Amino acid sequence: MKLIFFLLLLRHLCAFKSSTKGIDLLFSTISELQIALESNWITSRDLVTWYLERIDEVNKDLRAVIETNPDALVIAKQLDSERKEKGARSPLHGIPVLVKDNIATADKMNTTAGSYALLGSRVPRDAGVIYRLRKAGAIILGKASMSEWAAFRSTNETREGWSARGGMSASAYIKDGDPCGSSSGSGIAASIGLSAATLGTETDGSIVCPASRASIVGLKPTVGLTSRAGVIPISHTQDSVGPMAQTVRDVALVLEIIQGIDPHDNATLDMDAVRPCNYTQFLLGSEGFKNMRLGVVRRGIFDNSSSVTVSQEQVNAANDAIKLMKKLGAHIQDPADIETIDEINRSAAELTVLNTDFKQDIKAYLSELTNTNIKTLADLIQFNREHQDVEFSKYMINQNQFEASENTTGYDSDEYIQAVATSLRLGRKEGIDYTLDKYKLDALIMIGDGASTASAIARYPIISVPLGYLTKQNGINEALSGTPFGMLFTGRAWSEGTLLRLAHAFEQATHIREKVRPQFAPE
């Protein structure tokens, strides 16, 4: 044990810092921290102290964190004693994590989706995923900032990552960089080691886009793998909670803990769900590409023909990556287009589903809160009207999507029923399923912000893993030079094991994250 630990220290020796006993929090993985904890080199109290200092140091500029947990040190102390007496409960024992501000914690912290409307309200219990994290011994260190209401309040956002409570958050890679959203703070925090891992939520792109922009790994699980109970919703049809972290292994470790059945979320009761109790078994290093059959979704994703825009540099990086996968033993089907991709780009079905769901789902969420008068979407709209001074900004000038949602007429409307069917047809039957079946593929490869929609409407998993950084070549605006971008793998329901295997194989073959140190990371 000691030997492994000192080898681990050596790995980061160039960055030896006495203030953190040689632990480089920017690059230390959960397993490395766990070794340091087990060998008594550090304590969870140390970790909490260091992470809180790091948050303090950068948060004024980056605004990645909305609140920290006033009890974190006390909790860490208890977990340190417990480790001494009985050993660690899990690989997350004593490990601090930040969670997006739409995930309920029944403690001293607020859960507000970034809005003043819910400040001071009390949640009935921890969210399902928080219950599992705490049971595993993780420390909930604080609430990460986000695009307010998970970017669902307005279609006129000029930039993601803004909320009334959190302010405008920024990427740590470039000055005032757009962090993407809506799990903006979760992405930024994981990218610069403000906690060992974070949780985000995704309805369509809200984990994979900020993960991509932060050069970290983000996984949106199949809808129903992780509980959404206690999560401020957009849509029970599409929402999913997932891990964001520096490495694929860390994402796998956190997924293993947070996934599972929850009586408060019916989607987790799906009898077809595949829940391997060990996700790290899928991580095979660069061997992981052997015998994998992968398809490249060119049309609508690589070619700028839809609302997904990609630079030539991203395309080149992906083409190189695909060559590498082939060399490492993958069978590549290129192209493996999703035949419905143009129809998906044009279809209003997703919007109809989300607008209809939000009005009902937010009401169900609000019905369990106490210490607030806000009970319905109409109340939220009224609150925003009365508090325009704080709730409206140049980044979010209105609440037009709330208003559109308020206008919907419920689950029985023909429009809704048809939209749900259309989404499943375009996303699954004639979309992802059709492509995977046609070429007998294990997974699909994509790039680009907005490429998540087919997986979103299919309710299927998608993972982002670091692929590269924009440079000044190819007409890139100088200000954007240095922006990270990711590669996406998507597949069928419950194929998280396969997606983790592929992402791990790519990560281990390339180590893109370690190549560039974020400029605005804490000292």
**Site of interaction with ligand NAG (CB under 6 A):** 67, 70, 108-110, 119-120, 155-156, 264, 266, 278, 280-281, 304-307, 309-312, 315, 342, 345-346, 400, 403-404, 407, 475
State in angstroms the smallest separation of the CB of 29 from ligand NAG. 15
Is residue 379 exposed (0-12), middle (13-18) or buried (19+ Cβ within 10 Å)? middle
Q: Which residue is nearest to ligand NAG (CB)?
A: 120
CA pseudo-torsion sign 421, 425, 428, 429: positive
Residue 459 or 520 with smaller CB distance to ligand NAG = 459
The closest alpha carbon to 353, from 399, 420, 406, belongs to 420
Shortest distance, position 274 Cβ to ligand NAG, whole Å:
16
Given the complex with ligand NAG, which of 109 and 133 has the nearer CB atom? 109
CA distance 199 to 97: 8
Amino acid at 192: I
| Distance in Å, CB of 333 to ligand NAG, minimum | 21
Q: Is residue 240 annotated as part of the catalytic site, yes or no?
A: no
**CB 99 to ligand NAG: min, Å:** 13
The answer to whether 375 is a known catalytic residue is: no
Please tell me which residue in 28, 100, 359, 455 is annotated as part of the active site: 100
Task: Choose, from 171, 182, 423, 495, the residue flagged as catalytic.
Answer: 182
Least distance to ligand NAG, CB of residue 265, Å: 6
Q: Which is nearer to ligand NAG, 281 or 388 (CB)?
A: 281
When the beta carbons of 20 and 111 are compared against ligand NAG, the nearer one is: 111
Beta-bridge partner residues of 226? 223, 259
Distance separating alpha carbons of residues 135 and 366, to the nearest angstrom: 25
* Residue 295 near residue 444, CB atoms below 8 Å: yes
Strands 462-469 and 331-333: unpaired
Structure tokens at 224: 């129903």
Answer whether the bond into residue 91 is a cis peptide, omega within 30°: no
What distance in Å separates the CA atoms of residue 24 and residue 9, rounded to the nearest whole number? 9
Strand 217-220 and strand 293-296: the pairing is: unpaired
Nearest to 258 by CA among 217, 198, 204, 193: 198
DSSP string of 125-192, one letter each residue = S--HHHHHHHHTT-EEEEEE--SGGGGTS-S-BSSTTEETTTEE--BSSSTTB---SSSHHHHHHHHT
Give min distance, CB of 458 to ligand NAG, in A. 18
Helices (H), 207-308: 208-213, 248-258
* SS3 assignment for 422-440: HHHHHHHHHHHHHHHHHCC
- 396 vs 521, which CB is nearer to ligand NAG? 396
322/404 with CB nearer ligand NAG: 404
100 is annotated as an active-site residue: yes
Which of 115, 206, 286, 311 does the annotation list as catalytic?
206
Sign of CA dihedral 174, 178, 181, 184: positive
CA distance 367 to 375: 6
CB of 132 to ligand NAG, least distance (A): 15
**CB of 299 vs ligand NAG, minimal distance in Å:** 8
- Taking the least distance from each CB to ligand NAG, the nearer of 26 and 354 is 354
Task: Give the active site residues.
Answer: 100, 182, 206
